[in-house]
Amino acid sequence: MKSSDVAMNITCVATKSTDVAIVGGGPAGLMLAIELGCRGVNCVVLEEDVAEPDFPKANATSSRTMEHYRRRGFANEIRQLGLVADYPQDIVYCTTLVGRELTRFAIPSRSQALSQSAFGDYGEEHWPTPELPHRCQQMLIEPVLRRRAQQYPSVNLMLGAQAQSITMDTQQVTLAARSSTTGDTFDLTARYVVGCDGPRSLVRKTCGIRYSGLSEESRDFFGGLMLSVYFTSSSMYSALGKSPAWMYWAVNAVQRGLLIAIDGVDKFLFCLQLKPGQTPETVDFKAAMFAAVGCAFEFDLIAVAPWNAGFTLVADQFSQGRAFIAGDAAHLFTPTAGMGYNTSVDDAVNLGWKLAAVMKGWAPDTLLHSYEAERKPIAHRNTAFARAMADSIGIINVPANVDAPGADADAVRQQLGQALSKHVRNEFNIPGLQLGLRYEGSPIVASEETPPPADLPNEYLPDARPGARAPHIWLDGKSIFDLFGRDFTLLCFDDAGAAGHATRRASGLEANAFESADVNAWKEAAAGLGIPLDVLHCDCAQARALYGAERVLIRPDHHVAWRGDAGADAGALLALACGRAISSSLAQQHEPAFAKAK
Ligand SMILES: Cc1cc2nc3c(=O)[nH]c(=O)nc-3n(C[C@H](O)[C@H](O)[C@H](O)COP(=O)(O)OP(=O)(O)OC[C@H]3O[C@@H](n4cnc5c(N)ncnc54)[C@H](O)[C@@H]3O)c2cc1C
């Protein structure tokens, strides 16, 4: 869309109303719009920037985020972006980047990721997912998210619209907004507002919600003021003189630095940490870059941007009354382990189906309380892991003679290489962190008496206990995820044990003669509550063993709500999964806070 179209759009609108106002059209806001749009819920996304982002930020899309993109039908489109198809996504640590390799962690190229399930040295059993992680710049992903959001008629993506103030009462939210291109102002009223508006979130501040945790922790690397240098260089690869990699880390006592391949052709991002006394304006970043690389090279600068590393922050509340926050507005990471954007997308997916359920009338607003109950613990879990990894690489002991000739230095390099090899596996081989997230203790998942298994970042143990991400299994060449419905799915293993993997998916809630009395009872209960439910019959014994029960209720975000035997109280379980068992409504719970926020 051209900026003139946007300005026209805004000029025509004096007061507008919608169901959900989303402030911020970054990954969180756009994914939320997609989750609402695919369910026909009206929403307006206010995004102050008109232009698509053109500077690198997040580099890593997790398996879980790719699974979410797959659920919405565009994982393959995202998989086409980024490094050239056969470019390895390796991570290599060197003394200087043209110097000695200390260790290398091999990661498949994106074309390999489409055809194999091994991740580095780790086979399919370690990463049981239809979508391995993907390396691609956030600035390339956001345009796809914009286009995908705009394809839904109920989504109005207003580019160039800045939210300036917000007032709330028990019935609605009113936003005052301004066109960043024409200066025109307009009001927007909505049932709910979601602040996906990044670290300086207007929505969070308006609600008086604070971040808690650690700010600007200092480290030798990834702990202080950082500078990203974005450039092109056609001679970089020949200067590096080693097998290509996605990330190149310079680990030495003089100048540390991180070089990231953006397209595998000639675009790169270099990150350095400023030393005491240096500022983004005065630092000689060219000298620092040459020192970390180990030689001078020709390059054309595109842009530089400062940013801060060393945050481990989580908002004290994720909602207040009719206002919610998601993404960086709710948590701030140090980029180690690459979980900031991924946690943001996961927030949006969690909140999206819940807001849609409330707006479509098949869940009470009490369902929305489960958003904070489920996502705040995940924010603490993920930020804590990122912090541990920042310490692991940021304060690693780098001896002064690491790049010296001779046997003593060889021994030093070997020792450092071993430490880095352990570190890289800890930071990047994280199937448990990406796939093992569970909403343990959530008010909308059933509880099981057995103690929860350990939550291990580097190991994923497939588990279908309530709250867990539903485990993936291939059935006749399709992921079981591809067979789940858009909203709730009842997974039935009546005939499991048969030789084939045949599956049958039945939409529609009419009871019928082909279904067992139990399945008909689920359909009738869902129809009675107005809850969209698909039924998936599966006769695969392996899937039955994986899911550990005859019946499994899968949520719209592909987490398990409940599992058990035929004959359970379907009505009670569906009511639980839709928040009907949570007692106080949003308006009752937060009324006094609205008055303060005004
Ligand atoms: C250098 C760097 C490297 C990173 N690497 C990784 C990585 O490898 N992996 C990873 O997962 N994460 C990484 N991150 C973090 C990641 O970029 C963020 O976590 C992610 O962008 C958060 O998405 P978001 O949608 O919550 O917020 P944002 O992307 O910040 O989007 C917020 C949007 O809101 C808009 N906005 C703000 N206020 C208003 C307003 N009042 N009205 C209208 N619009 C408004 C902004 O213009 C912006 O578009 C990195 C970040 C940096 C800086």
Question: For helices 27-37 and 340-359, what crossing angle results, to 10°?
Answer: 30
Determine the residue of 49, 57, 313, 349 to mutate for testing ligand 1's pocket, defined as the one with the most ligand atoms within 8 A of the Cβ atom: 57
Please tell me what DSSP assigns to residue 328: G
Cα–Cα distances in angstroms (integers) from residue 194 to residues 327, 347, 356, 517, 546, in the given order:
10, 11, 13, 42, 36
pLDDT tens digits, residue range 413-472? 999 999 999 999 999 999 999 999 999 999 999 999 999 999 999 999 999 999 999 999
Residue ID of nearest Cα to ligand 1 atom 26: 327
Q: What is the pLDDT of residue 108?
A: 83
Residue ID of nearest Cα to ligand 1 atom 6: 58
The more confident residue out of 381 and 110 is 381
Structural contact between residues 444 and 575, judged by C-beta atoms closer than 8 angstroms: no
pTM, full prediction: 0.94
Q: Which residues contact 94 (CB under 8 A, 6 or more apart)?
A: 100, 101, 102, 242, 248, 249, 250, 251
Residue-wise burial string across 366-404, b where 16 or more C-beta atoms lie within 10 A, e elsewhere:
bbbbbbbbbbbbbbebbbebbbebbbbbbebebbeebbe
Cα of 198 to ligand 1 centre, how many Å?
A: 5
Cα–Cα distances in angstroms (integers) from residue 320 to residues 17, 370, 371, 453, 588, in the given order:
20, 13, 11, 32, 11
What dotted CATH number matches 3-55+138-211+312-375?
A: 3.50.50.60
Residues with C-beta less than 6 Å from any ligand 1 atom: 23-29, 46-49, 57-60, 138, 162-163, 196-198, 202, 228, 307, 327-328, 335, 338-342, 344
Q: What residue spans define the domains of the chain?
A: 3-55+138-211+312-375, 83-127+224-309+396-429, 447-577
3-state helix, strand, coil in the chain (%, to 5): 35, 25, 45
Of all residues in the chain, the percent with pLDDT exceeding 90 is: 83
Please report the atom of ligand 1 found closest to the CA of residue 46.
43
Q: Using CA atoms, how far apart are residues 318 and 298, in angstroms rounded to an integer? A: 47
Q: Using CA atoms, how far apart are residues 371 and 325, in angstroms rounded to an integer? A: 10
Both structure tokens of 24: 């911020």
Q: Give the confidence band of 14 by pLDDT, cuts at 50, 70, 90.
A: low
| SS3 sequence of 176-242 | EEEECCCCCEEEEEEEEEEECCCCCCHHHHHCCCCEEEECCCCCCCCCEEEEEEEEECCCHHHHHCC
Q: How many CB atoms lie within 10 A of CB 29?
A: 29
What dotted CATH number matches 447-577?
A: 3.40.30.120
Cα of 551 to ligand 1 centre, how many Å?
A: 39
Average pLDDT, the chain: 91
Q: What is the pLDDT of residue 12?
A: 45
pLDDT tens digits, residue range 358-385? 999 999 999 999 999 999 999 999 999 9
Nearest partner of 347 among 60, 81, 18, 26, judged by Cα: 26
Both structure tokens of 33: 């719009």
pLDDT tens digits, residue range 299-355? 999 999 999 999 999 999 999 999 999 999 999 999 998 999 999 999 999 999 999
The CA-to-CA distance between both ends of the chain, in Å, stands at 34
For residue 102, give the amino acid letter: L
Cα of 415 to ligand 1 centre, how many Å?
A: 37
Q: Which CATH class is domain 83-127+224-309+396-429?
A: alpha beta
pLDDT tens digits, residue range 217-272? 999 999 999 999 999 999 999 999 999 999 999 999 999 999 999 999 999 999 99
Q: Using CA atoms, how far apart are residues 384 and 393, in angstroms rounded to an integer? A: 15
Q: What is the pLDDT of residue 587?
A: 47
- Evaluate if residue 575 carries a pLDDT over 80: yes
Determine the residue of 344, 347, 375, 433 to mutate for testing ligand 1's pocket, defined as the one with the most ligand atoms within 8 A of the Cβ atom: 344
> What element of type H or E holds 356?
helix 340-359
In 3-state terms, what secondary structure has residue 269? strand
Cα–Cα distances in angstroms (integers) from residue 454 to residues 296, 381, 438, 461, 577, in the given order:
48, 13, 11, 9, 24
